[in-house]
């Protein structure tokens, strides 16, 4: 299964992902409509992108009394069927990460559906902090970073980085 892997250490909080998602959801750049959120803390220079991880045991799906939440066989995304959603907001309460939003205009919950397998947030992520990858490959870059460091440490002409 592929997920939207998030690497805060590469994120610059440029907000392209939020705009792209908001555009996909609502045709505008109102960041409040985006399912991906990037928190930015200037004092710490911390950028924290967060989006639905499509939990294997999805509490939102389990709690939904209307049976409006189901896993896509194609992408593995946990999707909300707006036509069945009763607007009860139980899924918002259930999600431990706050990754489900509520569309007041239509009275339904909304969350990341991986755009059907081509997530717009990733396509607009110019830093490379977001990647749409098989879950087991998601953090391979961290092993690569370690490899690069070790290769340097182990080489013979020491003294330079």
Q: Binding string, 121-150, against other proteins, x = CB under 8 A?
A: -xxxxxxxx-----------xx-xx--xx-
At residue 78, the 3 state secondary structure works out as: strand
Residue 61 binds other proteins, judged by CB under 8 A? no
Residue 25 binds other proteins, judged by CB under 8 A? no
Going by the DSSP 8-state scheme, the letter that residue 118 receives in this structure is S
Distance CA 140, CA 145 (A): 9
At residue 123, the 3 state secondary structure works out as: helix
Q: Contact at 8 Å (CB) between 132 and 119?
A: yes
Q: Which of 3, 16, 95, 99 binds other proteins (CB under 8 A)?
A: 16
Residue list 39-58, contact with other proteins (CB under 8 A): 40, 42-43, 45, 47
Number of residues that bind other proteins (CB under 8 A): 38
Q: How many residues does the chain have?
A: 161
Residue 155 binds other proteins, judged by CB under 8 A? no
Q: Binding string, 62-101, against other proteins, x = CB under 8 A?
A: ----------------------------------------
Q: Which of 3, 6, 13, 80 binds other proteins (CB under 8 A)?
A: 13
Q: Which helix (H) or strand (E) holds 146?
A: helix 140-154
List Cα–Cα distances, 115 to 10, 20, 23, 24, 105, in angstroms: 23, 11, 12, 8, 21
Tokens for 127, please give them: 């830093």
Distance CA 26, CA 7 (A): 26
Residue range at the interface with other proteins (CB under 8 A); choices 13-21, 54-62, 66-74, 91-99 = 13-21
| Contact set with other proteins (CB under 8 A) | 9-16, 19-20, 23, 27-31, 40, 42-43, 45, 47, 122-129, 141-142, 144-145, 148-149, 152, 160-161
């Amino acid at each position: 299964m592929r997920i939207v892997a998030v690497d805060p250490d590469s994120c610059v909080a440029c907000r392209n992902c939020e705009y792209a998602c908001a555009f996909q959801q609502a045709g505008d750049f109102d960041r409040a409509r985006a399912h991906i959120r990037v928190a930015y803390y200037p004092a710490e220079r911390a950028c924290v992108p967060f989006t639905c991880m499509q939990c294997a045991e999805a509490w939102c799906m389990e709690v939904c009394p209307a049976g409006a939440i189901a896993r896509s066989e194609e992408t593995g995304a946990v999707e909300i069927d707006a036509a069945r959603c009763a607007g009860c907001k139980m899924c918002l309460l259930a999600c431990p990460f706050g990754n489900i939003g509520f569309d007041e205009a239509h009275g339904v919950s909304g969350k990341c559906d991986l755009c059907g397998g081509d997530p717009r947030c990733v396509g607009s992520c110019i830093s490379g902090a977001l990647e749409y990858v098989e879950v087991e490959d998601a953090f391979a870059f961290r092993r690569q970073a370690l490899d690069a460091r070790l290769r340097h440490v182990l080489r013979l002409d020491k003294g330079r980085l």
